[in-house]
Structure 1
């Protein structure tokens, strides 16, 4: 309908990269507003829902995201937060640990560390399923253990880390203490309770002697694959150790706050909590801080505001926040969030194009067609302008339009303000829109994406058509020369023009629907019906596509031995064995084999047997499909039998050496690691076995060891 119409098409990242983008996430098949993941609260476990459980003192995350809780009565509970089901693992009065103990989880093992000098077990590991003790220690290498923090390696949970004093002395009051200059280190244990490594740093020597009890709640550890972090809440420092032997990284926290709790996610980002009191020392907001693995501060976890005593990550990056004062456990999940444009701090993005050059002056541009997904609460705004000149005045300066639009050094806000008079009125959420009053050799356009907190438009493809064509050209001149009504009529006819264009495009590309490699689903089934294939599920797309492609050659061979074998091979993936009467006719004439051959293959000279291994005929549906193939492709006036070969050991059945029957070297029958029976052993007298007075001959079939 519209001869000579051409268009610019932008549908690949390389096409869009010619322009300038701000806050845009470019992908292979289009672009959207930049997205990021931020934590938001998934669920909060409050004290009031833990009926029957005293105040919580510590917690850990066990297998299946179950919460392991230690209460003030020294009970240990296993709590399923979704179903609110709880089980008691340790009941009070066990005398194994105090309510000041610290919990950690190693897969299906529970680690309990207790720095209380009166505790009998300073470090112990128990089975979560039944509370059985796996191992327990009070000292290591002559050093009495006083765990100050405990944690396990994220995701793998095969390594246990405990922060302990490495130098201990007896104070003036007889209590254990760490002397001035005493070392604080981290001991790495494996699941069997063996020490793997000890981590130390000069920054963790005490500036003054201190009792063990005074060091509680000062140190916090976190570990991920290859990374171990130690937080000193008093000095407000973090030390990061590397398992590959690199020098530790030590940095100080510059923010104000009473820091407590540290955790590492699977991307090796650090999260540090704040245990300050909201109504003391002017604290109004308490956030969880986020740092990169190199110590660079990233941002705050704005999805949570509150007190933190302990932070934990699980293998899926869910963050658990424990507030010991309220006994509240907050679970935070990562959720997609639309990024904010830096200039406006709004969830939006802007794209400025480079020039589209037709090389023809005074050309009138026709329309655009935009393929985009535009969810609710989002918008796409398309603006444009055309000119015969590639340069012009912008904000009082004579510049190249393209250079100005694509200059990364000019802020987006400045570009929008300086060029607001150039652009047309924005077209809102366009799919097919005329470009009005767009005349000139060059065209530039601007796309503004307006998103919501979680959603963003997604631009797939843009086409810009030129020159202007319209169905009004097919009407009498009087309709074209009416200056008052022609523009409206042209816009009205443009709707039908789009319909005709789509129809012609489908006709032009109709051949693609006949290409088995290019279609799938219902189109492939439709092609299969051309070959009388109605049971598409039995064939599947891969086999059906192969059949359609080979159909011309297969139908030339229809009714022949080769054609039938090829059809069955396409369906099963294995070449069948086909036996015809003439192949065994001479052997059947031998009198002693006549009955056997009649039993196996029949005595009808117009009957043939098609044999397949059992792994290719697993179901009745497959058997019926193969039988139908045989029926459809066998020669006229013949009968075909399907035989599924079984692994026989009978010489007079369908037993074919190397096909479904194999001979192997004789081997010993091994009873256990120390006993075996030779291959010439015969077992007899079953009813008399295990009797010492019958068939028991020393030195022959019995020995004394």
Structure 2
């Protein structure tokens, strides 16, 4: 080429910040459209899919995300939605509770609250259906649970009427002004705390049965306890000690059901209205802020809500009692819409790029971007020798106008519509036609899809215009009409030559281990005979390449081998050579043991490493290859892994993989302790896998 190009580069936050961004975010590695997480349907589980329960009365989420379902005949089923596997946990006619029970679960514990059974609140083991604890009354009063929830510590929270009496008809009633509160039960079934507030009192006398499906509760991952009165649309939140942290009413009016709290402390309630067969279903789940107020509706679900649950991964589970369906919703990335156009796109308006030379003819754009299918990047430009332009009847500084945050985007686009060039779509490498002037401005229109956005890594604008046309005979340069086509055609080869020259000029960058990564780093590793399939990892491989000159000088020495192994494993190896134990081998009582541990060949040494340094057979092979490459000539290396336990006459070393400690008592409480030599065991020949099954002890093979 005649002379090197100059260019403006946009690849850092400081570069992009000089312009105006609309619905765009600058992140590590580039610029993209703003995205957020929104709930979308992941799976719909119907009663017919579960091949067990004919109807769904209630459900909860158990260990591993399995659904635990209660049917109308009080049978309890476990359903693995991922593998479509159903298992019966409790069959019919067990007489432990009825189909009116309320379910909650944490870990391997299932909680059932049933206001019409003998055991009003009970905890069962999911693995064997064993009753763990049960409660029939509370403070010598009838216990009438209205809603349940459980936390990560296996504490159960039940909504109950705190003031309850037996009416003339023999049924439980709550008097006017009766309190509704939450009782917290610990893992052993003891009531440890009561959550209550004066705002949760009944306005009039009511049968306890009438309060069912009115109150809902949830426990957040942060320890907050939440209570919702669907009839009065009142919400209250307590901290773990019972202090009120928030309370508010919910507008607009409606019929609501369900309550769940995600890990970000957002509140979700559902719409449980009945609609006609010919009505459009406009029932949504509402998302509330921590201080009330409807932030948005969850667009991923439409339908009736009878129960809501949110797990630790923010998956939402919705029970629709009308259709007997449980819908699983999960958060998915969604591209935000630009407020001006209501489309998933972003706009960038640059400040002026100044070449300091008038009549500069700009050369080309070069864009390094990741552009998924169904997305686009469109770029337009405008060049001029003047910074001031006539807009709205007055001269304004064009850069200040484009970057002024006080001017709406719609006004900027409307006033400058005639100035911009025709947009270039996905300009990986494009010539700038008819772009002449000292200053250049450009507009980026980044168009995304519902879930994806282009990511712009780097943008370069080259100047001045240089063309291979100058190397052709004058007759080709004088053909003005045809020379434009010829110039564009030759620009393809010009780009190729320019890229090749830039690579040659910066070839040293490819040999710098701190500047390269990925494939180039692995390629540098092959110079040291490190194959690409070896599991060195980038950080270790980079250090190996940097230390290679010094390590090469130490090759074949104990120090060199030790440094190589320390570099790969991150641990200091223990190297035992024959001369170190030669005197001990002269003693007959130690000779056999030392020969067994280290060998009796004077040309064999032993390398010992902790077991945690080698996780796979592949890593073991790499370490053995390092020993073979780095060992002195005419010697052999033996690799030994140090196990983390004491085994006499084996590789047991005090302070390395074995420690002596003083025995201590296991203190059960202030009055009881257990000696250190006590063994606890429960021998039951129940022959069930994963439940204390030990071959030869409580099970056997036949």
Work out whether residues 630 and 640 of structure 1, in 8 Å CA contact, stay in contact via their aligned partners in 2.
no
Picking from 191, 195, 199, the partner of 2:191 is: 195
Alignment of 1:633-648 (within 5 A): 633-634=632-633, 639-642=634-637
Contact 2:149 2:156 in 1 (8 A): yes
Correspondences of 1:579-590 after superposition (within 5 Å) = none
User: Contact 1:260–1:272 at 8 Å: present in 2 too?
Assistant: yes
Match of residue 262 from structure 2: 265
What is the Cα deviation at residue 255 of structure 1? 1.9
Residues 247/407 of structure 1: CA separation in 2 closer, same or farther (3 Å cut): farther
| Whole-angstrom CA distance in 1 between matches of 2:107 and 2:199 | 32
- 1:547–1:259: structure 2 CA closer, same or farther, 3 Å change rule? closer
Residue 32 of structure 1 corresponds to: 32
Deviations 1:455-494 (A, max 9, x none): 2111111111122222222333333332222222221111
| Pick aligned residue for 2:395 from 393, 398, 413 | 398
Instruction: Check whether the contact 1:107–1:157 (CA below 8 A) recurs between aligned residues.
Output: no
Q: Assess, with a 3 A threshold, how the Cα gap between structure 1 residues 280 and 206 changes in structure 2: closer, same or farther.
A: farther
Q: Helix, strand or coil: the match of 2:247?
A: strand
Selected match of 1:495 from 492, 496, 500: 492
Q: Is the 8 A contact 2:628 2:636 kept in 1?
A: no
* 1:35-434 → structure 2 map (5 Å cutoff): 35-116=35-116, 119-153=117-151, 156=152, 158-224=154-220, 225-243=222-240, 247-279=244-276, 284-434=281-431
Question: Larger deviation: 407-416 or 128-137?
Answer: 407-416
TM-score relative to the length of structure 1:
0.83
Q: 1:515 to 1:610 in 2, by over 3 A?
A: farther
CA spacing shift, 1:644–1:628, aligned 2, 3 Å: closer
Question: 1:284 and 1:562, CA in 2 relative to 1: closer, same or farther beyond 3 A?
Answer: closer
Contact 1:105 1:157 in 2 (8 A): no
Q: Secondary structure at the match of 1:204?
A: coil
Would the aligned equivalents of 1:357 and 1:443 in 2 still touch at CA under 8 Å?
A: yes
Instruction: Give secondary structure in 2 for the equivalent of 1:55.
Output: coil
How far residue 86 of structure 1 moved from its aligned partner, in angstroms, is 2.2
Contact 2:55 2:324 in 1 (8 A): yes
RMSD value, Cα = 3.8
- Cα deviation, residue 520, structure 1: 4.6
| Displacement of 1:89 | 2.3
Distance 1:468 1:54 in 2: 76
User: What SS does the corresponding residue of 2:308 show, helix, strand or coil?
Assistant: strand
- Runs of 5+ consecutive residues of structure 2 not aligned to the other structure: 644-648, 667-672, 678-702
For residues 255 and 441 of structure 1, the distance between their equivalents in structure 2, rounded to whole angstroms, comes to 59
State the alpha-carbon separation in 2 of the partners of residues 614 and 62 from structure 1.
42
Distance 1:228 1:603 in 2: 69
Separation (CA, whole Å) in 2 of partners of 1:495 and 1:375: 24
Q: Distance in 1 between matches of 2:240 and 2:662?
A: 53
- 1:291/1:297 contact within 8 Å kept: yes
Q: Structure 1: which 5+ residue stretches go unaligned?
A: 677-705
CA shift, 1:31, in A, is 1.6
| Cα shift readout 1:238-293 (whole Å, capped 9, x = no counterpart) | 22223366544222221232111111111111111111111199774111111111
Where 1:402 maps in the other structure, the secondary structure is helix
Structure 1 Cα separation of the partners of residues 581 and 315 of structure 2: 71
Q: 1:164: how far off?
A: 0.8
Instruction: State the shift of 1:446 in Å.
Output: 0.7
Secondary structure at the counterpart of residue 237 of structure 2? strand
Contact (CA 8 Å) 2:146, 2:215: kept in 1 or not?
Answer: yes
Asked whether the 8 Å contact 1:613–1:660 carries over to 2, the reply is: no
Q: Of 428, 442, 447, which aligns to 1:445?
A: 442
When residues 14 and 95 of structure 1 are mapped into structure 2, their CA distance, relative to the original with a 3 A threshold, is same
Question: SS of the counterpart of 2:481?
Answer: coil
Task: State the distance in 1 between where 2:258 and 2:145 align.
Answer: 16
Q: Does the CA-based 8 Å contact 2:250-2:293 persist in structure 1? A: no
What is the Cα deviation at residue 62 of structure 1? 1.3
Residue 614 of structure 2 is aligned to residue 613 of structure 1: no
CA–CA separation in structure 2 for the residues paired with 1:126 and 1:527: 60
Aligned counterparts of 1:519 and 1:433: Cα–Cα separation in 2: 27
The 3 A distance-change label for structure 1 pair 463 and 309 is same
Q: Separation in 2 of the partners of 1:454 and 1:667?
A: 59
Q: How many Å separate the matches in 1 of 2:256 and 2:75? A: 28
How many residues end up aligned between the 2 structures?
A: 657
SS of residue paired to 2:534 = helix
CA distance in 2, matches of 1:469, 1:26: 33
**Corresponding residue for residue 508 of structure 1:** 505
Give the stretch that moved more between structures: 288-297 or 531-540. Answer: 531-540
Q: Secondary structure at the match of 1:186?
A: strand
Q: Flag the 1:432–1:674 CA change in 2: closer, same or farther, 3 A.
A: closer
SS at match of 2:469: helix
> Which stretch shifts more, 64-73 or 85-94?
85-94
Greater Cα offset, 339-348 or 78-87: 78-87
* Cα deviation digits, residues 547-586 of structure 1 (max 9, x gap): 44334344455667766766676667646657588x999x
* Shift in Å, 1:420: 0.5
Distance 1:389 1:614, change over 3 A: closer
Structure 1 SS opposite 2:3: coil
Residues 570-605 of structure 1 deviation map (CA, whole Å, 9 limit, x = unaligned): 667646657588x999x89x9999x99x9899999x
Comparing 225-234 and 295-304, the one that deviates more = 225-234
Question: Residue in 2 aligned with 1:9?
Answer: 9
- Deviation for aligned residue 1:516: 3.1
Deviation at 1:215, TM superposition (A): 0.9
